[in-house]
Amino acid sequence: MSRNRQLFLFIVVTFAFLFQVAVLPQFKLFGVQPDLVLVVAIIVAVQDGPVSGALVGFFGGLLQDLASPQVMGVSALSKALTAFLAGSLKDLFMTYSILLPVLLVFFLSIFELSVHQAVLVVLGQEQLPPFEVGMIVATAFYNTLLGLVVYPLLRRFSFPDKEDSFSVARR
Amino acid sequence: MPAAPRTNRNRLILILIIIICVSMVTLYIRESDDGPLHNVQGFFLDLFSPVGRAFTRVFSPIKDGFVNLVHLPSLSKEKAELEKEVADLRRERLEARGLEAENEELKELLEFSETQAELETVGANIVGQSPDNWQRLMIINKGSSSGIKKYMAVVTEQGLVGRIISVGSRSAVVQLITDSRSGVGARSLRSRETGIVEGRNEETVRFVPMKEDADIKVGDIMETSGLGGTVPPGIAIGRVSQLKKRASGMALFVEVKPFVEFSKLSNVLVIITPEPESVILKEAQ
């Protein structure tokens, strides 16, 4: 990965984190807010591969851990694992369709929220039963909506010459 | 690069990330509140505080637009057009109005502060909120340099907001009363029945009375009891909105709607005197 690309991803994930903490809590729908950092990590994993995604997920998750007094490392771990999985799953499909990242955002949001909560339960930080299924599914839906906006944006910045099925369909 | 070595390298990086995260988690859990990782968190919050405040200000027009969109879905087309015109006018005057609203809120806070003469408070701005759905937290732009300590109560003129759970030198984290880990000693203003107000990560909180047959009615106002030693007594919490009698042996389910509108908060007061008993005890040790 080029230095320019590394700098670009650093700026994107930092911006996503600031937006997540300072702005998105005001954008709650049905009591939940989306997780922009996770959406960005998954989309980067789809575009740049599992390692880039995992590093973005780790860095973004670490920023979130630092900004809240919860156990440091939990968000970093769950987001890095999720993004790595996204990049690995993407390699199984040969498609530029927007459907793939969008579906990955939905299912992997459920995965990340479950892993995050499971780790907190194992650490004794969360009481059982912790899994609020409605909240997890609502967050996954909201993340998917956000993915529909973020994916074309990131793709435009990353590969300005290429067109995916989404941009073709819009013309 | 051939596929197999690349896969091995990817796995190695993932394992390295997992080891770093697990080490961080282990260290964090084992260390005290004054440990290095906790201090890093405090330092980061101080660093984030001014940036978060600037970000919140910059994006407030978008936020206001979103709130309008979510809350006005049932309006007719004609009304929507009229509202669009109003929204356009609002946008033009947004900065001036924002300042006006903030000024008004600060005035109300000052009046509230004057009525609570025995309480010494510090005003603070909200610069960020919890980044996930598991917690109900807010980050404020005042910290230990302003006399703020852990467990201090946070209020507005409407009532109790929460309490401080983490402090940096120029920032602090407030755990809202709606957070699922929050528990505050409370009582009914009418019947003086005592209990605990617990958060549920929802807009409402739950009052758990001490007695199974407690005299609680819908509409009762709940206030802090002072029991527990962190929040002073007599601060309004909310009004009982729902009451469910449970089977014998089970606690009465009392839903309380907080007076504070958390989604509209931008300024708060931290009660620094009297200090929470837990802080005094810790300092005495």
CATH code, domain carrying A150 = 1.10.1760.20
Q: Which of B8, B10, B15, B17 to mutate to test the interface with A (most CBs of A within 10 A)?
A: B17
Residue B192 has, within 13 A of its CA and on its CB side, a CA count of: 0
Separation between Cα atoms, residue A35 and residue A41, nearest integer Å: 10
Whether residue A31 and residue B59 make contact (CB cut-off 8 A), yes or no, is no
Q: What is the pLDDT of residue B245?
A: 73
Separation between Cα atoms, residue B178 and residue B182, nearest integer Å: 7
Q: What is the pLDDT of residue B187?
A: 92
Show the low-confidence residues of chain B (pLDDT under 70): 1-6, 63-78, 80, 83-84, 87-88, 90-99, 101-102, 105, 108-118, 246-251, 277-285
ipTM of the complex: 0.85
Establish if A106 belongs to a structural domain.
Answer: yes
Distances in Å between the Cα of B17 and the Cα atoms of A119, A148, B107 are 16, 28, 49
Instruction: Let me know: does B37 contact A72? Beta carbons within 8 Å.
Output: yes
Structure tokens at A80: 């890095």
Distances in Å between the Cα of A154 and the Cα atoms of A33, B43, B94, B117 are 21, 31, 30, 54
Separation between Cα atoms, residue B131 and residue A17, nearest integer Å: 8
Establish if A171 belongs to a structural domain.
Answer: no
Q: What is the pLDDT of residue B94?
A: 60
Q: What is the pLDDT of residue A171?
A: 46
Nearest-Cα distance to chain B for A134, in Å, is 12
A1 touching B, CB under 8 A?
no
Whether residue A72 and residue B41 make contact (CB cut-off 8 A), yes or no, is yes
Whether residue A18 and residue B52 make contact (CB cut-off 8 A), yes or no, is yes
**Rounded to the nearest 10 degrees, how much is the dihedral formed by the CA atoms of A135, B257, B60, A153?**
10
Instruction: Let me know: does A28 contact B130? Beta carbons within 8 Å.
Output: no
Separation between Cα atoms, residue A81 and residue A45, nearest integer Å: 11
Separation between Cα atoms, residue A83 and residue A45, nearest integer Å: 6
Establish if A167 belongs to a structural domain.
Answer: no
A64 → closest Cβ in B63, B131, B201 = B131
Residues 103-162 of B with CB under 8 A from A: 127-135, 137, 139
Separation between Cα atoms, residue B284 and residue B278, nearest integer Å: 10
Higher pLDDT, A129 or B156: B156
- Nearest residue of B to residue A137, measured between CA atoms: B133
Whether residue A54 and residue B202 make contact (CB cut-off 8 A), yes or no, is no
Among the listed residues A137, A112, A48, A126, the one whose alpha carbon sits nearest the alpha carbon of residue B10 = A48
Q: Which of B29, B132, B138, B176 to mutate to test the interface with A (most CBs of A within 10 A)?
A: B132
Establish if A170 belongs to a structural domain.
Answer: no
Q: Which of B49, B57, B66, B134 to mutate to test the interface with A (most CBs of A within 10 A)?
A: B134
Whether residue A21 and residue B63 make contact (CB cut-off 8 A), yes or no, is no
Separation between Cα atoms, residue B39 and residue A38, nearest integer Å: 26
Contacts of B123 (CB under 8 A, 6+ apart): B106, B109, B113, B142, B267, B268, B269
Q: What is the DSSP string of B73-130?
A: TT--HHHHHHHHHHHHHHHHTHHHHHHHHHHHHHHHHHHHHHHSTT-EEEEEEEEEE-
Whether residue A21 and residue B48 make contact (CB cut-off 8 A), yes or no, is yes
Establish if A121 belongs to a structural domain.
Answer: yes
Contacts of A62 (CB under 8 A, 6+ apart): A72, A73, A75, A76
Task: Provide, as residue numbers in chain B, all residues whose Cβ is less than 8 Å from the Cβ of A37.
Answer: 131
Separation between Cα atoms, residue A134 and residue A129, nearest integer Å: 13
Residue ranges per domain, chain B? Answer: 27-58+93-270
What is the number of residues in chain B?
285
Q: Which class in CATH covers the domain with range B27-58+93-270?
A: mainly beta
Instruction: Let me know: does B18 contact B25? Beta carbons within 8 Å.
Output: no
Residues 52-111 of A with CB under 8 A from B: 54-55, 58, 64-77, 80-81, 84
Confidence of residue A168 (pLDDT cuts 50, 70, 90): very low
Q: What is the pLDDT of residue B56?
A: 75
Q: What is the pLDDT of residue B148?
A: 92
Q: What is the pLDDT of residue B71?
A: 60
Separation between Cα atoms, residue B29 and residue B37, nearest integer Å: 10
Determine if the peptide bond prior to A69 is cis (ω within 30°).
no
- The number of domains in chain A is 1
Averaged confidence pLDDT in chain A: 84
Task: Provide, as residue numbers in chain A, all residues whose Cβ is less than 8 Å from the Cβ of B166.
Answer: 69
Residue A160 has pLDDT above 60, yes or no: no
How many helices (H) and strands (E) chain A has is answered by 7, 0
Amino acid at site A34: P
Residue A26 has, within 13 A of its CA and on its CB side, a CA count of: 23
Residue B281 has, within 13 A of its CA and on its CB side, a CA count of: 7
User: Which residue range is the domain that position A46 belongs to?
Assistant: 3-161
Instruction: Let me know: does B163 contact B152? Beta carbons within 8 Å.
Output: yes
